[in-house]
Structure 1
Amino acid sequence: MFAYLKGKLAHKDPTFVIVDIGGVGYEVKISLNTFSKIKDQENIQLFTHFHVKEDAQILFGFADTHEKQTFLHLISISGVGPSTGLMVLSSLNPEEVEQAILSEDVRTIQAVKGIGAKTAQRIILELKDKVGKDDAGGDLIGLPISSKNTTRNEALAALVTLGINKAAAQKSIDKILKENSSDISLEELIKLALKAA
């Protein structure tokens, strides 16, 4: 219903903000990740998800579309509601969530308050093929930013675009990066991965 809200930041709390838009204050639930990103901005834009349940209508807001997409992925899992999704994004940033899912790191996800072993395993199982995909359907693998990971991500996105299976592409790239120096060029990495895939 609401794609985003853009207005004056009337009130800020670690769990919610009030955005004044034309004299109307919208209360929006946020994660600690978003809280830290909006800092002391006077005017903000939050990408929103409008959640309706029997006894409440709640707006959830995110500093960027990546965090919103991660939240939507999380709440698509049975047993993970919006409050739990927000808790995950308050404990881990979207890149850390994706990294934990891609590397099947149950312990990291389970460390979030309110998530047990079974739910953590379900999140990994159901989201492994979905994480990193943007709204347009392209792959945006969110790993911590470093030159090696940036090259890895770009190579992975290119290989998936070329029709290579994502899991096979990841395996090939990781093997090549382990065997070669970290300053391998993107083109060279893609060529070697294409030969190996």
Structure 2
Amino acid sequence: MSRTLWPWRSAMPSGVAPTTLWSAVAKRSGDTALGNSNQSPTMISRLSGKLIELQDQRVILDVGGIGYEVWIPAAVMGNLLGAQEGDALELVTLYYLQLDTSKAVPILIGFEDSLQKEFFEKLLTVPRMGPKAALGAFARPMGELARAIEREDSAFLRSLPGIGAQKAKDIIATLQGKVAKYLVGGETPGETAAVAPEAAIDEKHRELYQDGLQMLLALGYRRAEADRMVRDVLRLEAEVTSVEDLVRLVYKRQQSDASVG
């Protein structure tokens, strides 16, 4: 069976611009043409097919006779290393139009689930963080990265491929307080057992209390310390409704206490 390899392969027809061929593929599959933004949510968001080739940073996936080249973050690729040629594989994908000086280069980036994709999109909001740099940054499990960001662990971030001191600062400045929900992926906290809600916790806050407590335990706080901080925020900020806001307020109170001390 003949295959067309996309987006990067010598089998691409000569004289056809990448964006032209991509638009044709999109039109054939019922998607809309490219917009003005680098990321287009109307483009291919999921691929399901047979694995043709597994490389260091990318895979070739055969979907209906078309071979799609998909870049994979190292942290995600580690979970695919046992796959064999011909195995069925499904990836959640992010379409990105990489803008170079003289051309627009379309690429696909693949993930195991939508949560990983969402976290990657957060990385792309960091100033001067393109898809290749974000692929390098996503070299550790999502939960470890989120924990490092929330704890301002610049040393950990600088250990990632392509991340220097300034980029580590930019990541923390942009994402701290916004990635608590991603702590569930890949972390190995010392204490993660379910915590029974205490009678002193208001009924409407019990689920939020447990979620916030688990997040802080995943960040490395001691149980008693985490319990106290979550309770303080819920007592003083009765309108908080999300675990992300809860963790952000915990950090805000910590910084305020430190400045007073």
TM-score when scaled to structure 2?
0.57
Amino acid at match of 1:51: Y
Partner of 1:4: 46
Aligned partners of 2:154 and 2:169 also within 8 Å: yes
Q: Secondary structure at the match of 1:9?
A: strand
Unaligned runs of 5+ in 2: 1-42, 199-203, 235-261
Partner of 1:100: 148
Partner of 1:52: 97
CA distance in structure 1 between the aligned counterparts of 2:206 and 2:175, rounded to whole angstroms: 17
Q: Secondary structure at the match of 2:51?
A: strand
TM-score when scaled to structure 1?
0.73
CA distance in structure 2 between the aligned counterparts of 1:48 and 1:71, rounded to whole angstroms: 11
Aligned pair partner of 1:30 in 66, 72, 87: 72
Aligned partners of 1:66 and 1:94 also within 8 Å: no
Unaligned runs of 5+ in 1: 134-139, 181-188
1:145-160 aligned at under 5 Å gives the runs 145-146=188-189, 148-149=191-192, 151=194
> Any idea what the Cα deviations from partners look like across 1:3-40, whole Å, max 9, x if unmatched?
21111011101211011011110000112222221221
CA distance in structure 2 between the aligned counterparts of 1:160 and 1:81, rounded to whole angstroms: 40
CA distance in structure 2 between the aligned counterparts of 1:6 and 1:66, rounded to whole angstroms: 18
CA distance in structure 2 between the aligned counterparts of 1:175 and 1:16, rounded to whole angstroms: 37
Amino acid at match of 1:49: L
CA distance in structure 2 between the aligned counterparts of 1:93 and 1:99, rounded to whole angstroms: 10
Residue-pair matches, total: 175
Call closer, same or farther: CA 1:161–1:124 in 2, change over 3 Å: farther
Aligned partners of 1:14 and 1:31 also within 8 Å: no
Structure (1 or 2) with the greater helix fraction: 1
Aligned partners of 1:74 and 1:80 also within 8 Å: yes
Amino-acid identity (%): 27
> Any idea what the Cα deviations from partners look like across 1:138-197, whole Å, max 9, x if unmatched?
xx5337245723547x99xx959759xx79x959x97771469xxxxxxxx69x943674
Q: CA RMSD in A?
A: 3.6
Partner of 1:185: none
- The structure with the larger Rg is 2
Q: Is the aligned partner of 1:194 residue 2:237?
A: no
Call closer, same or farther: CA 1:130–1:196 in 2, change over 3 Å: closer
